[in-house]
Amino acid sequence: MEFDNTSDTNLAELGEFGLIKHLTQHIELYQSSTIKGVGDDAAIIFNEDLQTVISTDILIEGVHFDLTYVPLRHLGYKSVIVNLSDIYAMNAQPKQILVSIALSNRFKLEAIEELYSGMLAACKKYKVDLVGGDTTSSLSGLVISITAIGGVKKEDITYRNGAKESNLLCVSGDLGGAYMGLQILEREKSVFKENPKLQPDLEGKDYLLERQLKPEARKDIIDTLNSIGIKPTAMIDVSDGLSSEILHLCSQSEVGVELYEEKIPIDSLTYETAREFNLDPTLCSLSGGEDYELLFTVDISEYEKLKNSMDITIIGHITDKAKGYNMISKSGTVHELKAQGWNSLLKKIRK
């Protein structure tokens, strides 16, 4: 939705309650489970016979996002998506969100409208209700905290700890694109600092920039699995990089894994751009993060149902815990799979 305000308004003129009223007056509700949304001391949700699934994330300016190159509308959209992705990773359907923001006085009302318009666009696309939250002041920039609430039948819940030996390891979409989008944005920021007159060189990189700035949650994958009668044995979303998420699943399930490098889905633009930056495309997919794809395991008997899926790739299989966590390289060499943190990524990913 678009706000109709066109003036340059200081937030102090509205006050907290005025700001909340202004931002929430046009909220649409999509879920029958929302009994009471914004406007009272608390929201009321009735999930009937479903289990309630709750997840929360906090995004901090200067740590999780850089407003030098992140549009506020995109930031609002992404802040919702990263939470919905966690709900889908439980094989559940998100239904409501709570939004809390802390902001400094450098932000005008029009800037916050942009942020909220992105949030409401995500709510509309995924049919999720914004039912409450909070606003406060900040001395250290913009802080966004979102809580997502979903529902799922008890028998359909998928945890991280259900992977079993001989299960197939699968992932949706492609990996590493969000990380390469970030590299492009950081490069252009550095160029701009040196010469503000130069225009950013973003031509032909739209897909990677979208993966970083405006990711999508994989509701379609959950719907597809449900339609073909597959319940994953374990699942997690890829927010911290493929290797970290695989290790989370294996640790929780007390199993080992064999991942095949040649099976990791990497888009051709991601691959080419990684090479332009003198980066290893495989390490970008293993350690980059923020792809928000779904990583899951299924029983090997489900292979026939999965083999023709256009957007799901079988990338390995689960083994006995004693065999450890291994990646088989394209040359056939066995490497121990390790989680790469952000700092080690910067150190180890460069040739």
What are 8-43's pLDDT values in tens digits? 666 555 555 566 566 666 677 888 888 877 777 788
Average pLDDT, integer, range 139-150: 94
Per-residue pLDDT at 219 exceeds 60: yes
Pick the range with the lowest mean pLDDT from 105-109, 122-126, 318-322: 105-109
* Tokens describing residue 62: 């200067």
How confident is the model at residue 192, as a pLDDT?
Answer: 87
Cα separation of 293 and 216, whole Å? 9
For 336, phi and psi rounded to 5 degrees?
A: -70, 130
Q: Which residues contact 227 (CB under 8 A, 6 or more apart)?
A: none
**Banded pLDDT at 347 (limits 50, 70, 90):** very low
CA–CA dist 12, 18 (Å, integer): 9
CA atoms of 125 and 137, how far apart (whole Å): 30
CA 8 to chain centre: 32
Q: Which of 339, 238, 247 is nearest to 293 (CA)?
A: 238
Strand partners, 148: 55, 97
- Full set of structural domains in the chain with CATH: 17-156 (3.30.1330.10), 168-348 (3.90.650.10)
Interval 175-207: pLDDT, tens = 999 999 999 999 999 988 888 888 888 899 999
224/208 Cα distance (integer angstroms): 25
